Amino acid sequence: MASTNPQESVRDHSPLPKLLPTVRLVVTTSAGLNQIDLPECRRRGIAVANVANVYSADVADLAVGLLIDVLRKISASNSYVKQGNWPTRGDYPLGSKFSFVNFVYCWEESGLELLDWEISGMKLLKGLKPLVAVSLITPGRKSHMSRTLSMKICELAANCDALIICCGLTDQTHHLINKEVLSALGKKGVIVNIGRGPIIDEKEMVRCLMEGEIAGAGLDVFENEPDVAKDFFALDNVVLSPHCAVFTPESMKDLSELVVGNLVAFFSNKPLLSEYVDE
Amino acid sequence: MASTNPQESVRDHSPLPKLLPTVRLVVTTSAGLNQIDLPECRRRGIAVANVANVYSADVADLAVGLLIDVLRKISASNSYVKQGNWPTRGDYPLGSKFSFVNFVYCWEESGLELLDWEISGMKLLKGLKPLVAVSLITPGRKSHMSRTLSMKICELAANCDALIICCGLTDQTHHLINKEVLSALGKKGVIVNIGRGPIIDEKEMVRCLMEGEIAGAGLDVFENEPDVAKDFFALDNVVLSPHCAVFTPESMKDLSELVVGNLVAFFSNKPLLSEYVDE
C-alpha cells in the first residue's frame, strides 16, 4: 500500500489498513506520518517505510529562503517593482537584518529531537553566529511531553526572533503554536512553518499578523490546503508557498529510487531501506 | 562633501570635486566608488572615506535570499497562492534544488579579490558543500585586467550554476557580463546582481531570460534606476528588488556612526575610520 496524501489532521488516520485486511507493508511518500494509522499497523505487524532524509535538504533550504524573504521583504519588493511603483512611489520600506536574528536550537531528551532535518539548510544556519529558533520534534514519539512542550515552546519563542516549525503533526503538536506562543514571540518575531499547517492555530496567527502582534510569517503549509485562508492574501508581511518544500526534480528522483528500493527489499525478504520504527 | 547618490555609469563621475575647489574630504555613503572622481581626488590630495564593511552582511544576505528565491520560485509561488490559483490550477511547477548548485569562489592576485564582502552570507555559502559562483572585484584597481577578466568570467560561468555579481562598477567591469558570459552560464544557470546594474548587459540578459538561454535572475540593481526595464515585469523567473540590499535599520545606524566618526576624525586631525586608499 502506498500512502501519498498527507491528511491535515492527526485525528483522521487513513482507514486503508482496516479496509485492506491482508496488507503487510505501507510505504509513504510523505515526510509526515500523521496520515497513517500507526497503532493499527503496530497491532497487525504491518511494516511502515518512510522517506528517510530524502526531503531534508529541500525543506531546510525553503525554510531559510522563506525566512530571508520575510525579513528582507523580497517577495513584497518584487511585487512593488513589477507593479511599476519604484519610480512613482520611491524607495521600498526597510527590511530587517537577517544576521541579527536570534538563533536557538531546541531539542532535548524528552522529545525535541533532531529529526530527518539534519540538513544543508540547518548546517547553513549553524554557520551564522546568532540566528533562528528551530523546533524539532519526532512525530509519534514521547506522547507524555504534551503540556511541558507547550510551555517550553513559549520560553523558546520569548527568547528568539524567528521560530521555524519543522516538526511532525501529532496529538501533542496540534495547535502547539497558540496565542500564548505567538504573543511570546512578539512584535519583532517571525514564524516559518515547513511542518504541517495545524501545528499553528492559524486563526490566531492571522489575527497576530493583521494586528502587528508578530512581524511576519513564511508558510509552506496551512490548516486547509489548498484553500488557503484569504485573509493572508493581502498581507505583505506574509510569504506563502503551496506546500512545495520538497518538490524539486532531484528529490523526486531520490524518492522514486527509495520507494522502489523498499518494495524490492520487501518482496526479497530483505530489510527495508527506510523502515519507520515506532518506539 | 558627502556623496550619497551612486550614479549608474562609471563614465559620469560627479563634477563636484571640480566645482568645490577647497574641498578636502569626500565621505561616501555608498558601497560603490564609481560616482567619485578618484583621479581628481588623488591629484588634489582630497581624502576619501568609504563605508568599509557596514553593508557587507546585508548585501550577502540579500544575495543568498535572491538566489534561493529564484531557484525555489518563492516570489513566484507566493503570487500564485495569493492570486488564489492553488485550488483551481493545482500544484506549482517544481523548483531546483538549492544544495545542488555548483559553488566556485573566484578571486586571484590579478584583480579578483575578496572585498568588503567578507560576510555572514558568504560564510553561510561556505557552509554548504557545492554552491554558487561569486565574482569579487575590487573597484578601481588593477585596470590592466580588463580583457583577461572577461575571459576568466566566461570560464567561471561555464563551470557554475549560479553567478553572484558583487563587484564594483569600473571601466573594466562595465558590461563584464555580456552575451558570451550569459551563454556560458547556460540554460540551467542563474545570475544574481547585487553590485551595479551596468556590470551586466541588461538587454542581452532580458533576451536570455525570455528565450530560456539562462534559467533565472535575482536583481537588486539595474542599468536605469528606478525605471526598471518593463520586459522584466512579466517574467516569473526573475526576482526584482529596488536597490535596497543595504537598507536595514541596523545598517543605517552603523552607517550614521561611521560617517560622523569620519567627520570627527577629520576635523580632529586623526586618521579616518575608513579611508579609501587608491593603490
Read off the pLDDT of each residue in B181-200 and give the average, rounded to a whole number: 91
Domains of chain A: 2-54+249-267 (3.40.50.720), 56-240 (3.40.50.720)
| Mean pLDDT of all residues in A185-192 | 90
What is the residue-averaged pLDDT of chain B? 77
pLDDT > 70? residue A108: no
Q: Which of B95, B94, B75 is nearest to B235 (CA)?
A: B75
Q: Do B68 and A65 touch (CB under 8 A)?
A: yes
Catalytic, B243? Answer yes
- Strand A238-240 with A2-3, pairing: unpaired
Note the pLDDT tens digit of each residue in B208-247: 999 999 999 999 999 999 999 999 999 999 999 999 988 8
User: Looking at beta carbons, which residues of chain B come within 8 Å of A226?
Assistant: 86-87, 90
Give the distance between the most distant pair of CA atoms in chain B. 69
Q: List the grid coordinates of B19.
A: 566645482
Tens digits of residue pLDDT in A242-251: 999 888 888 8
Is some CB atom of chain B closer than 8 A to the CB atom of A86?
A: yes
pLDDT at residue number A13:
60
pLDDT at B114: 31
Instruction: Tell me if residue A2 falls in helix, strand or coil.
Output: strand
Nearest residue of A to residue B123 by CA position? A127
Measure the CA–CA gap between A33 and A10, rounded to whole angstroms.
Answer: 9
Report the percentage of chain B scoring pLDDT > 90.
42
Q: How confident is the model at residue A14 (pLDDT cuts 50, 70, 90)?
A: low
Among all residues of chain B, which has the CA nearest to that of A97?
B248
Q: What is the residue-wise DSSP string for chain B?
A: -EE----S-TTS--SHHHH-TT--EEEE-SS--TTS-HHHHHHHT-EEE--TTTTHHHHHHHHHHHHHHHHHTHHHHHHHHHTTHHHHH-SPPP---GGGS--EEE--TTSB---S--SHHHHHHHTSSS--EEE-B-TT--GGGHHHHHHHHHHHHHT-SEEEE-PPP-TTTTT-B-HHHHHHH-TT-EEEE-S-GGGB-HHHHHHHHHTTSS-EEEES--SSSSS--GGGTT-TTEEE--S-TT--HHHHHHHHHHHHHHHHHHHTT---TTB----
Tens digits of residue pLDDT in B27-71: 999 877 878 888 889 999 999 998 877 887 777 778 878 988 999
- Chain A residues 193-252 with a CB less than 8 Å from chain B: 225-228, 230, 232-233, 239-242, 244, 247-252
The length of chain A is 279
pLDDT grade for A122, boundaries at 50, 70 and 90: very low
Taking a C-beta distance cutoff of 8 angstroms, is the pair B79, A233 a contact?
A: no
Average pLDDT for A19-41? 87
Considering only CB atoms, which chain A residues are within 8 Å of B75?
69, 74-75, 78-79
Q: What is the pLDDT of residue A150?
A: 55
For residue B263, pLDDT beyond 60: yes
Give the per-residue pLDDT at B98. 67
Tell me whether residues A81 and B242 touch, CB distance under 8 A: yes
Q: Is the pLDDT of residue B148 over 80?
A: no
